């Protein structure tokens, strides 16, 4: 994983798995746990990339991904972010 990239964890198991088994190691990491819904996760990750001007990695389950596929329409906005 590129050093400068942030990580965003989806709600449901990704954030729980990281909490139980992950090694944080100072990694810049974001979650949406204040709102437990699995909607809007991709949108949040894209917003993070735009606001931090960094590329990031989103760990997301298939159901949460399907809940927010419209967010992919914004993907072209973040293609200039670099690792
Ligand atoms: C908007 C919304 N709808 C439904 C739920 C109920 N819900 C909680 S977890 C979940 C499934 C998540 O599956 P996935 O994204 O594949 O992640 P997994 O936990 O399986 O890794 C659902 C439907 C929710 N939390 N929010």
Quote the CA–CA distance of 48 and 23 in Å, as a whole number: 21
Cβ atoms of 11 and 38 within 8 Å: the answer is yes
In a domain? residue 83: no
Nearest atom within ligand 1 for CA of residue 16: 19
Residue 1 belongs to some domain of the structure: no
**Strand-pair partners of 58:** 8
Per-residue pLDDT of the chain (83 residues; tens, 9 = 90+): 788 899 999 999 999 999 999 987 888 999 987 778 999 999 999 999 888 888 899 999 999 999 999 999 887 777 665 55
Q: Which residue range(s) make up the domain with 42?
A: 6-78
CATH of the domain at 61: 3.40.50.970
**How many domains is the chain built from?**
1
Distance 50 CA to ligand 1 centre (A): 25
Q: Is residue 42 situated within a structural domain?
A: yes
Pocket test for ligand 1, best of 11, 12, 17 (most atoms within 8 A of CB): 12
């Amino acid at each position: 994983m590129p050093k400068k990239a942030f990580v965003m964890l989806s709600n449901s198991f990704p954030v729980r798995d990281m909490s139980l088994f992950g090694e944080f190691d100072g990694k810049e990491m974001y979650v949406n746990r204040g709102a437990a819904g699995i909607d809007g996760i991709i949108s949040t990750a894209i917003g993070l990339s735009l606001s931090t001007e960094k590329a990031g990695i989103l760990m997301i389950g298939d159901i949460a991904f399907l809940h927010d596929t419209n967010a992919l329409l914004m993907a072209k906005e973040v293609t200039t972010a670099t690792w």
